[in-house]
Structure 1
Amino acid sequence: MLESFINYLEFEKRASAHTVLAYKKDLEQFTEFYLLSFEKEDISHAEHSEIRAWIVDLVEEDRSALTVNRKMATLRSFYKFLLRSGEISKDPTYKLKALKSPKRLPEFVQEEAMDKILDEMEYEADFDGQRDKMVMEFLYLTGVRLSELLELKWKDIDLYSESVKVFGKRKKERMIPLTNRLKKNIISYKKVFEETFSFVDQSDYFIVINSKEQAYPMKIYRIVKHYLDLFAQTTKRSPHLLRHTFATHLLNKGADLNAVKDLLGHANLAATQVYTHNSMEKLKAVFEQAHPKA
């Protein structure tokens, strides 16, 4: 049933490759624990007490509440799938309660640091340098996810209408406008792309490595980390940090929350509202500095 569940996630739910891999690893870990602790191999018929024993074991290993809650979510999805499929008659996870975890505000790069990365940084004129510049600019100026950037092709970019078509989670399509700055830099990047690879085919991936093959996640991580290391004062150095920065900077400048939600491709406002906390901190600082009764 594990294989059937993974296929369900991948082909019916259209979950991202990252999500599918995470669920698979969680279930493999529980299977190993189940075998070692109870000498049983088929987790399909695990009982509540056996599942809870794994949760306790994870907590005793000092796993974070966030990690444990994610693994519980994996089990809930798996047993709900079995219940719908008629494999089991009772969901053994229905009594599981999520662990309390401290609320963490998403980090973001300060505007001054982003200005230095995009305006003061001297990128190499060769393909690698201009590709790196495009990675940094595109992530920050569109707010796309890493997976969305990697899957982007030249045919998805419409310079005439100044927009880009992005396929988000569960292959949901959305359109993101291109700023004049980004449009201009895409044209420059395209010129270097053509000089390096002779031509640009519309089916080519937008971000590629030197062999013209699709860039891979770790490549983007290395690019982003390299440039953020130079200027950013954040503890994190990931592509997703630039997505957080995109949203926070928009809200700090007064952007409508619903508009930011649509740009990010969030299914509901709850996912977007986390960024308003950072904006609220800025508003509080302005209030305390400017209001005579603060």
Structure 2
Amino acid sequence: MENIKNKFRDYLLLEKKYSLHTVTAYLNDLGFFQVFLQHAFEDDNLIKVNYNQIRSWIVSLSDDGISNSSINRKISSLKSFYKFLLKTKQIDVSPFLKHKALKSPKKLQIPFSEKELDLVLNQIVYSDDFEGVRDKLIVDMFYTTGIRRAELINLKCHNIDLSNGTLKVLGKRNKERIIPLLPIIQNQVVVYLKERACLQRVIDQDYFFLLLKGVKLNDSFVYRLINYYFSNVSEKVKKSPHILRHTFATHLLNNGADINAVKELLGHSSLASTQVYTHSSLAELKKVYGSAHPRNNK
């Protein structure tokens, strides 16, 4: 069974081109399901699984207080595994043939306001040393480029082209895209590079953003950084890099940007993915429409 799981891992990494983080999550879900099979049915053979066993796991997860959205994510991991088994002809029929995803409420992602961004970028006093210059550039780069947290962490020095004012991003499934850099960001990059060059030791030479000890950033550091600065100006419950990405898209749409252009900047493969960001711009549109249309006061 371990051999099959290793082949599944290679399939996700090499053929589907999923990130290592995603692949690890898929394999963890598969492992938890296998443990459940052993405890509940005294048989952890993943190939011989039937839908009744899967349904028992879903009920068990629900009884443990796991949300429907989290259960759906775990089930998505299993479905990918059984699609792989079908593709490699190790099973004839997927046990998920008649499965329907559990209903889960859509969480509204509330973007930061332009005032909140102004406070973080223009009113907060950042130190003028390496860490202060880096922190402000991280916040501003999230807001002005809309890149994902993993994309920012994995930025390489050669990805930034100051002569052309562009940023090359390696997105999901190794898909590259070019994002323009505003002059204000280009200026910050120049200052940051000077500070970076003065670090006593640089271990991860290729990576653009570094910690003070000279190694690349990590997920938790970036999350804490954004949460820290926005906690000073915002009472919103969620303050994360993803909310900054959401804010980037929302503010562009509110100010008249074409949704297809926003789609390209975000690196979405389909317009449907970009349309989730339109609810805020629709609210803004309704406000403008209501105040401007002659029939509104009739």
TM-score by length of 1: 0.95
Query: Looking at both structures, which has the greater relative contact order when contacts are Cα pairs under 8 Å and sequence separation is at least 6?
Result: 1
225, 228, 252: which one pairs with 2:227? 225
Partner of 1:261: 263
**Are residues 36 and 199 of structure 1, via their aligned partners in 2, closer, same or farther at CA, if it must alter by over 3 Å?**
closer
Q: What's the CA shift for 1:269?
A: 0.4
CA offsets, 1:166-224, max 9 Å, x none? Answer: 100111111000011111111111111123358999x5211101121111111111111
Q: Would you say the 8 A contact 1:105–1:274 is kept in 2?
A: no
* Corresponding letter in the other structure for 1:9: L
Partner of 1:175: 178
Partner of 1:248: 250
**Whole-angstrom CA distance in 2 between matches of 1:216 and 1:199:** 16
Q: Would you say the 8 A contact 1:193–1:200 is kept in 2?
A: no
236-245 or 96-105, larger mean C-alpha shift: 96-105
**Whole-angstrom CA distance in 2 between matches of 1:233 and 1:109:** 10
**Whole-angstrom CA distance in 2 between matches of 1:19 and 1:241:** 20
- Given the alignment of the two structures, is residue 13 of structure 1 paired with residue 16 of structure 2, yes or no? yes
Partner of 1:22: 25
**Whole-angstrom CA distance in 2 between matches of 1:59 and 1:133:** 42
Q: Would you say the 8 A contact 1:35–1:41 is kept in 2?
A: yes
Query: For the aligned residues, what is the CA RMSD?
Result: 1.8
Matches within 5 A, 1:107-122: 107-122=110-125
CA offsets, 1:68-110, max 9 Å, x none? Answer: 1111211111101001111111100111101122223322111
**Are residues 61 and 289 of structure 1, via their aligned partners in 2, closer, same or farther at CA, if it must alter by over 3 Å?**
farther
CA offsets, 1:232-278, max 9 Å, x none? Answer: 23211211111111111111111111111110111100100001111
**Whole-angstrom CA distance in 1 between matches of 2:94 and 2:213:** 49
Partner of 2:282: 280
Which segments of structure 1 move beyond 4 Å, counting only runs of 4 or more? 197-201
**Whole-angstrom CA distance in 1 between matches of 2:202 and 2:6:** 42
Partner of 1:152: 155
Q: Would you say the 8 A contact 1:145–1:239 is kept in 2?
A: yes
Matches within 5 A, 1:180-195: 180-195=183-198
* Structure 1 spans left out of the alignment, 5+ residues: none
Q: Would you say the 8 A contact 2:201–2:214 is kept in 1?
A: no
* Corresponding letter in the other structure for 1:25: N
Q: What's the CA shift for 1:288?
A: 3.3
How many equivalent residue pairs? Answer: 293
Secondary structure in 1 matching 2:277: helix
- Given the alignment of the two structures, is residue 63 of structure 1 paired with residue 69 of structure 2, yes or no? no
Q: What's the CA shift for 1:290?
A: 4.1
Secondary structure in 2 matching 1:204: coil
- Given the alignment of the two structures, is residue 234 of structure 1 paired with residue 236 of structure 2, yes or no? yes
* Corresponding letter in the other structure for 2:71: V
* Corresponding letter in the other structure for 2:199: T
Matches within 5 A, 1:10-159: 10-159=13-162
Q: Would you say the 8 A contact 1:139–1:243 is kept in 2?
A: yes
**Whole-angstrom CA distance in 2 between matches of 1:26 and 1:200:** 34
Identity score, percent: 44
